[in-house]
Amino acid sequence: MVIVLNSSTTPEQIEKLKQELENYGCSVWPTYGQFQTILGIVGDTGKLDRDYLLSKTYVEKVLSVQEPYKKANRTFHPENTIINIGNQTIGGNQVAIIAGPCSVESREQIVNIAQEVKAAGAGFLRGGAFKPRTSPYSFQGMQQEGLELLKQARAASGLPIVTEIMSIKQLENHHEDIDIIQIGARNMQNFDLLKAAGQINKPILLKRGQSATVEELLMSAEYIMAGGNEKVILCERGIRTFETYTRNTLDLSAVLAIKRLSHLPVIVDPSHAAGLWWMVDSLSKAAVAVGADGLIIEVHQDPSNAKCDGQQSIKPERFTSLMKSLREIARIDNRVL
């Protein structure tokens, strides 16, 4: 950590601050300039509170040189984390493909899609039972019944299931039924939910909030990991920018940033990022080319009659042909899919 003091700081203030920092177990190395004094701080700076330091009137800036997350940090855990789910893995040499409809609508619908995406090579089935919707008047998902249908689709296809939970109560009631528990973008900083997710022993798919920095995403992962659950899969799903042609702006650089900063696997959701079905193919290919550990793609037999997000879903035939292209791209980096 680096603390920049303004030119009017007295030697007494510097000495007092120095001792305070040393009491936290840090060592302090000052640099004296004409307009500023710079304090270099090393040691266990994790205990220092940036806000507290900034509130001193003679402190001009506090610059962090170390990341504020520990368990999610690649520095302290250099190898990639590989998460095992049934006979599948996420984070290793295999590119994980999660596919399925935005929301579960009927037994027939979800079982059929499960079988179709399995046949095309997907490793996991997605489907929403509890749906976060901007409007209280929109379809809110089939709730518990949807979850039961997902379980039937799992039984029929053999695919592990991925679904979102939106509250601690849903997490408590249903986590045993779900193979990968999704925490959505809107809940990325619902800290009570993150803490609860840290107490269970199931992989968590944590989506990036639409205005969250990479560092904030990793801090939210840290909340889960600090509770004891280290099976966290991160997901880039587009960020909010001024551009309105797409629903959000897919940030593929974030995949590279996350993989450098953290050992956790990171997947990409091209469907929600663009919000446009005809972009899904190309963005999926780009995501595999950039090195993402997997994809989560919306597939629906009849998008025009989907109960939600039809405009961003592709049909099973298109998904099947996309899988072929993705396999070829993965092969270039010696990965399988």
Binding mask 271-310 for a second copy (x = CB under 8 A): --xx--xxx--xx-xxxxxxx-----------xxxxxxxx
Between 21 and 85, CB nearer to a second copy: 21
Q: Are 99 and 299 in contact (CB under 8 A)?
A: yes
Between 3 and 85, CB nearer to a second copy: 3
Collapsing DSSP to helix, strand or coil, 100 comes out as: strand
Show contacts with a second copy in window 74-93 (CB under 8 A).
75
Q: Where does the chain show beta strands of DSSP type E? A: 2-6, 26-32, 36-43, 59-63, 83-85, 88-90, 96-100, 124-126, 161-164, 180-183, 204-207, 232-236, 266-268, 294-298
| Closest distance to a second copy from the beta carbon of 241 (Å) | 5
Among 104, 125, 162, 214, which residue sits at the site for a second copy (rule: CB under 8 A)? 214
Between 79 and 137, CB nearer to a second copy: 137
Q: Would you count residue 19 as binding a second copy (CB under 8 A)?
A: no
Show contacts with a second copy in window 152-171 (CB under 8 A).
166-170
Rounded to 10 degrees, the C-alpha dihedral 154/156/159/160 comes to: 20
Nearest to 72 by CA among 258, 253, 336: 258
Span from 85-93, 114-122, 127-135, 142-150 in contact with a second copy (CB under 8 A): 127-135
Among 119, 145, 240, 317, which residue sits at the site for a second copy (rule: CB under 8 A)? 240
201 CB-near residues (< 8 Å, 6+ apart): 229, 231
Span from 92-100, 116-124, 151-159, 323-331 in contact with a second copy (CB under 8 A): 323-331
Span from 103-111, 119-127, 149-157, 256-264 in contact with a second copy (CB under 8 A): 256-264
Nearest to 113 by CA among 126, 123, 95: 126
Between 157 and 251, CB nearer to a second copy: 251
For residues 337 and 323, what is the distance between their CA atoms, to the nearest angstrom? 8
For residues 185 and 254, what is the distance between their CA atoms, to the nearest angstrom? 15
Binding mask 128-147 for a second copy (x = CB under 8 A): ----xxxxxxxx--------
User: If residue 288 lies in a helix (H) or strand (E), which one and from where to where?
Assistant: helix 277-290
For residues 45 and 75, what is the distance between their CA atoms, to the nearest angstrom? 15
Binding mask 23-62 for a second copy (x = CB under 8 A): ------xxxxxxxx-x-xxxx--xx-x-xx-xxxx--xx-
Using CB under 8 A, count the residues that bind a second copy. 110
Between 20 and 152, CB nearer to a second copy: 20
| Closest distance to a second copy from the beta carbon of 327 (Å) | 10
Between 203 and 209, CB nearer to a second copy: 209
Give the strands of the sheet with 36-43, arranged side by side.
Answer: 26-32, 36-43, 2-6, 59-63
